[in-house]
Amino acid sequence: MAGIALEPEGKGMLDSLPLSSFQVWAVLMIAATVVLDGLDNQMLGLAAPSLLKEWNISRDALGFVFALGFVGMAIGTLTSGFIGDRFGRRGALLTGVAIFGVATLATGFSVELWHVAVLKTLAGVGLGGVPGTASAMIAEFTPARWRSVAVTFGVVCVSIGGILGGVAAAAILPVLGWRWLFYLGGLLTMAFVALLWFILPESPRYLAERPDRRAELDAILRRIHHPDPASVQPAEKVDGKAPYTPFSALLKGTMLRDSLALSLAMFSGMFMIYLMFNWAPTMLFSAGFGLQTASLGLTSFNLGGTIGAMFASLAIIRFGSRPTLILMAVTGAGVCALLALLPIDGGRNEPAVLAALGALGLFASAAQSAMFAVGAHAFPTAVRARGLGLMGAAGRAGAIVSAVAGATLIGGGNLGFFGVLAGLMLVNALGFIAVRGHVPRLGRQDARA
């Protein structure tokens, strides 16, 4: 552990530099993997109403498939964090994208539910590690004054992928059927990961802790227009190796409180998000709305999440993450309460439902996206990927519970479905209150830099 600080780092090697076009390009390439993650992750939820009807399966059986997918995600989240901290962010990211791309394509060829279950689990292993690894990588490519915006943008790309998936489902499902969602999504993902294999660089902050990869770091710093790459001092080796901090550092000392609080917030937040991703279309369909409206409801939620997350990142710069995220979580609880009480049987109040789902994304979903910026700030480079992975694993646990509980909650109508979410968003706010290492507001001078 020599040479590794377990407090968030101070001013870094990129913090005094302007944001270069190379950094913007790198962030966009990394964020694109999260778009694909969001696109592929929501396909089974979008296809669920068609699968239930075509294969005559029960909601409970489909809920079990969703749960297996989240088990895979939990495994992938922790595994990717270890690989990212130990062997590099780039390899961990590309491996995850490649796995879920292959599994998504293969799902289109499924003829029995157990085929879907196995492939959903495999896809989950790939999907699970992408947001956390991408967040760590984006944080390490950007100066402090842009970090919360960049990390939040990267994570919100899950919602952008969901928007694209919802629009595609509304167009494809009535004409070509559910299989084409998986064919096209898988092929697109595999083509993009092949491209990234040749063009995506490694994280400069990761390379700075690996003296044996100094040449790679110098090349990246020159592309960033660093005035003196030779002045960047790598971490000292211990017994001839780069220093390594164990996972247990996250669960002791000053790191323990933030690890637990962020995990609590992520558990409750991902329960809400994945309940929406996987069960909202089916819930709306069961209430009497058509397939197109059911798909557009999820699109409205994702669109609100995308817009809200970017506003949240700007608010974090101005006010810090503590008041911003607490307020968003509490407001999200209020929107859930409204949706729980709104009469929707027989497809009633469609415009109000779509608007409220957009508001739920604007506040509740957006707060979860912005949470990754808090984790990227709270966890230092040595354990950042694993710290974000721990948060992600807690989120996957919430997603597993939501997958199993979703079929039961749908039986309670919108009152049971959104009433539970209202309570969970209050738990989410408590997690944000407990976090110690929130992103502070930037001073006016930093904000202008």
Kindly indicate the confidence band of residue 10, based on its pLDDT and cuts at 50, 70 and 90: very low
Q: Could you tell me the residue range of the domain that residue 158 belongs to?
A: 21-233+254-448
Within a domain: 92: yes
% pLDDT > 90, the chain? 28
The yes-or-no verdict on residue 252 having pLDDT over 70 is yes
Within a domain: 352: yes
Within a domain: 91: yes
d(CA 190, CA 170): 23
The yes-or-no verdict on residue 345 having pLDDT over 90 is no
Structure token digits, residue 398? 């919430």
342 or 443: which leads in pLDDT:
342
* Three-state DSSP state, 342: coil
Q: What is the CATH number of the domain that holds 153?
A: 1.20.1250.20
The yes-or-no verdict on residue 242 having pLDDT over 70 is no
For the stretch 96-106, pLDDT in tens is 999 989 999 99
Length of the chain: 449
Within a domain: 74: yes
Work out the average pLDDT over 79-99.
Answer: 87
**Cα 179-183-187 angle, rounded to 5 deg:** 170
d(CA 224, CA 217): 11
Tell me the pTM. 0.70
Give me the pLDDT at residue 7, please. 39
Work out the average pLDDT over 229-242.
Answer: 59
Within a domain: 200: yes
Work out the average pLDDT over 43-64.
Answer: 83
State how many domains the chain has: 1
Within a domain: 73: yes
Work out the average pLDDT over 5-25.
Answer: 69
For the stretch 149-191, pLDDT in tens is 888 788 778 778 877 887 888 888 888 888 998 998 899 999 9
Work out the average pLDDT over 341-360.
Answer: 90
The yes-or-no verdict on residue 39 having pLDDT over 70 is yes
For the stretch 320-336, pLDDT in tens is 899 999 999 999 999 99
Q: From 235, 245, 242, select the one nearest 383 (Cα to Cα).
A: 245
Which residues does 67 contact at the CB level (< 8 Å), separation at least 6? 400, 403, 404
Give me the pLDDT at residue 447, please. 40
* Whether the Cβ atoms of residue 391 and residue 263 lie closer than 8 Å to each other: yes
Within a domain: 150: yes
Kindly indicate the confidence band of residue 145, based on its pLDDT and cuts at 50, 70 and 90: confident
Within a domain: 243: no
d(CA 350, CA 191): 38
Cross-strand bridge partners of residue 241: 238
- At position 85, the amino acid (one-letter code) is D
Q: What is the mean pLDDT of the chain?
A: 84
Residue with tokens 């966890």: 379
